[in-house]
Structure 1
Amino acid sequence: MINTPILVVDDDPTFLRIIGNALKQQNIDTLLAESPEAARELYLSQPIEYAILDLNIDGQSGLQVLQDLLLHQAQCRALILTGYASITTAVEAMRLGAIDYLCKPASVQDILKKLQTLEPATKQEKETENRPVNPSEDDFQAMSVRRMEWEHIQKVLAENDGNISATAKALNMHRRTLQRKLQKRPVQQ
């Protein structure tokens, strides 16, 4: 059970209200922030053990918020939420210190379930944490060709710092074709 307040940072006031109420029903206090600046004030003034961060907060990167949060609160366990999921951003979030990553729209139940997995590890879990894991072949789910294309485009776009023209050239693709592909929502699996 989570006994400390959870910092929730999202620029959508409706989402903040819903997640705040849902967590309150679970007897979990929340600290809500609609901007990176408001979040910073909160995590500089008190200890934060858990955080839920949107990837895009009012046009700013939630990954920057994550980095600053972890700089000041190294013990914090953060969950990243995003409406534009890609392997590239998921890997980057994990590299920067996020514990997990969820795609929007995520239900309150999904978020609560994920938060339960973010609870501090027991002594036994810590001992087995560094052991290699051999995933079963049955657990593997291959991505569709469309999803792999989307992920590759996102990777090349990130390598070119978001420059559409440079990305199109690197992919040997017409710029307009790339723009059309980017306007579509990411495909699932």
Structure 2
Amino acid sequence: MDEIREQIGPDASLLLVDDDETFVARLARAMEKRGFQLRTALSVAEAKRLIAEQAPAYAVIDLRLEDGNGLDVVETLREAREDAKIIVLTGYGAIATAVAAVKMGATDYLAKPADANDVTSALLAGGELLPPPPENPMSADRVRWEHIQRVYEQCDRNVSETARRLHMHRRTLQRILAKRGPK
């Protein structure tokens, strides 16, 4: 842990932004043990207020928040502090959102479930070095299933519309939806 504290540097301020209170509390405790000085926000508005008070050196921001998009927080932080290291977290890892996050100023992009070790590695990774791969990444089957579930929810649980958007046969989609998600 002392090695991590040395890597953090003199400004150890970290802002966690996620609308899942349990996740934020658990991650906050773990990051404090690693030497970060924590502030947490459960909404876009609260995060922007905290950034206006004092822009942190590090931030972990969920992409989807109840009152808006985490990319708005990324943009606000990048304007307030250019040298901030920003990690975007999301439950739906998609190339388009990863590209958007990086263009807005995010340092890295992690798919949930990400633990404190993954977040710490991403925050402290050098500019040109990629952080090590996660120890337990989602399987390709799980990523596919998560994507199908997301589109299904966005289509208001309409199987026919979801099948059309995913370019799948409706019955094939129904069979996939009837099964439990892969681990």
| TM-score, shorter chain, exceeding 0.5 | yes
Mapping of 1:51-66 within 5 angstroms? 51-66=59-74
Give aligned pairs, total. 160
Report Cα offsets for 1:126-184 as digits up to 9, x if no partner: xxx9xxxxxxxxxxxxx96x79989x99xxx9xxxx899x99888777899999999x9
Aligned residue number for residue 22 of structure 1: 30
Provide closer, same or farther for how the CA distance between residues 187 and 50 of structure 1 changes in structure 2, counting only shifts above 3 A: farther
Moved over 6 A (4+): 146-150, 166-182, 184-188
Q: Distance in 1 between matches of 2:66 and 2:48?
A: 14
Q: Is 1:10 the equivalent of 2:24?
A: no
Taking only the aligned residue pairs, the percentage that are identical comes to 38
Q: Distance in 2 between matches of 1:175 and 1:68?
A: 42
In structure 2, the gaps of 5 or more residues are 1-6, 130-138
Q: Report the alpha carbon displacement of residue 42 of structure 1 after superposing the two structures with TM.
A: 1.3
Aligned residue number for residue 75 of structure 2: 67
SS in 1 for 2:52: helix
Of 75, 86, 91, the match for 1:83: 91
Provide closer, same or farther for how the CA distance between residues 109 and 147 of structure 1 changes in structure 2, counting only shifts above 3 A: closer
Q: Distance in 1 between matches of 2:172 and 2:105?
A: 35
Q: Is 1:107 the equivalent of 2:115?
A: yes
Q: Would the aligned equivalents of 2:85 and 2:123 in 1 still touch at CA under 8 Å?
A: no
> Please, which moves more after superposition, 173-182 or 66-75?
173-182
Q: Distance in 1 between matches of 2:99 and 2:50?
A: 27
Q: Report the alpha carbon displacement of residue 23 of structure 1 after superposing the two structures with TM.
A: 1.3
Q: Distance in 1 between matches of 2:118 and 2:53?
A: 29
Report Cα offsets for 1:92-112 as digits up to 9, x if no partner: 111111110000011111111
